[in-house]
Chain A
Amino acid sequence: MGTKKKRKRKPQNNMLVLKLLVLVVIVLVLFEGKLIYTMFTQGTSSTVTVSSSSSESEKPQNLENEPLSPSAEAVTDSGNSVADAPLAGLSIAVSGASASTALQADQETEDPYRISEEIDSPAVVKEQETAIDDSYFSDAVFIGDSRMEGFRNSSGITQGTFLTSVGLSSSGMSDATIASPEGNISVYQGLSGIQYNKIYLMLGTNDLGYYPWEDFLPNFEKVIEQFHKLQPDAIIYICNVIYVEESKVSASYNNNENVRKINGYLLEICETYDYCYYLNLNEIFTNGYGSLIEDASSDGVHLYEYYCKQMLDYLKTHYVDLPASADITSEAEETSNTDGIETEEDK
């Protein structure tokens, strides 16, 4: 019996409460509608304002006059819409993030500690539009130290002659350090007999800390002149000395200040001798602050496979072609080199 009573009374109570609530809402809407509307609009607009102000602080001056992105335009258009306000705030936040990224990029370019690797000299080999393939190296000889040997071993290059040995320096050209089928020979001996059209030279790392520095330039010039004497038809690509990662190098003279000094001499040589061309490898190996890319090498000097492959790619897009050697090049080379060939006259 008791349960029956409850069942009868409960719906009546619920209905009464519901009616009261509806009444309250109607009264509120009628008399306080304006206040409620103001509360909502003020609340949402303040959210937008906060977002805007936070993004304003990150926004660089130069972006202020830029046309608004579609999302930013939507914020402006629907700024008074209660329903759209939270989304609009989000849009502003996103817009602020992109502005932040732009700012970061600007900071990087304006970073006073960043060192540009651009060299304005006719002796520097410019990037070509068309990359050549390995056949370009079929008449090339690569001469160098352990870094060049590492390039041979790890870059994936399939053609070319290599006269390399670990520890080779500009003063060691006459020493019998190059292994050959006939026993050990010097670089000069290796250049005798066979005629090459290109010489890629990578030396200098073992000359860092050369003493006295004044002697480095004349000694290196002697090497170049001797190469030219032995290979009069060959152009000589001189690779600049790749930066080192100083924290991994034990010898104090193996530092980037010396690298820059020696590269200055190498550039001078390329500007002096019209058959020499400067390959600015640090364009791709710099960390942006005049040092080797972090963790590009286990010992701070010898590049990992990935970077050796990058160097090969660099050589394939940085080359010159001379009218004299054009006759000797194969048909395949000629077809692959038809576009964007820099000639000696351009230098």
Chain B
Amino acid sequence: MKHVKLILCLAVLAFCLTACSKGNKDITVDVDKLADELQSQAVTSDTLTKTSLDLSSIYFVNDDQMEKGAAYLSNASTACEVAVIECKESSQAEGVEKLFKTRVSNQSNLFASYNAGEVAKLDKAIIKTAGKYAVLCVCDDTEKAEEILKNYGF
């Protein structure tokens, strides 16, 4: 009986640990669709443009780690931006998350002396990972962005 209880406890513990680790979620996301939804519904103060540049030149993600990516950027009048990157492997999403954090930090420093009002948006920047995906969203309506991301499994 004791063994059974122990096995059950271990099983529950293992289940909890797996459930808590969002990064290991096995989800499939339409990168372009998610990026578009975030920029069109959560960004209200600016009209972002889907960039045609290689995302590695903006976020410095290694090309050999990135499966696909989509980014909407501002004309620099605001700090708003949306980036969704699909990595080749789940383990690489964490690295992209760090790059996103660096990006937000840099932008905060620059906007602080240039357009301080935008720093508040950067302070509330959403950076999330799930499975092979990493998302950066600097926007006006963070609640809406969170809602969208939740629907996508983040």
Contacts and interface: CB of A to CB of B under 8 A. Distances in A.
B51 interface: yes
A297 B114 CA distance: 17
A244 B17 CA distance: 56
B113 A156 contact: no
A298 B60 contact: no
B95 to A, nearest CB: 12
B114 A180 contact: no
A153 B49 contact: yes
B106 A152 contact: no
A150 B106 contact: no
A298 B76 contact: no
Given A154-B73, A179-B103, A303-B75, A166 B110 contact: yes
B41 interface: no
Nearest to A146: B76
A150 B73 CA distance: 8
Contact of A304 (B75, B102, B103, B111): B75
A299 interface: yes
Interface residues of A, number: 29
Nearest to A154: B49
Interface string B38-50: 0000000011010
29 contacts: A146-B76, A146-B77, A146-B114, A149-B76, A152-B51, A152-B53, A153-B51, A153-B73, A153-B75, A153-B76, A154-B49, A156-B52, A162-B57, A165-B110, A166-B110, A166-B115, A167-B111, A167-B113, A167-B114, A177-B110, A179-B103, A180-B60, A181-B60, A297-B75, A297-B77, A298-B46, A298-B47, A303-B75, A304-B47
Given A167-B111, A180-B60, A302-B76, 7 more contacts: A150-B75, A158-B52, A166-B114, A167-B113, A167-B114, A179-B102, A305-B75
Interface of A: 146-147, 149-150, 152-154, 156-158, 161-162, 165-167, 177, 179-181, 184, 297-299, 301-305, 308
7 pairs of A and B residues whose beta carbons are closest in the complex? A167-B114, A150-B75, A146-B76, A153-B73, A302-B77, A150-B76, A154-B49
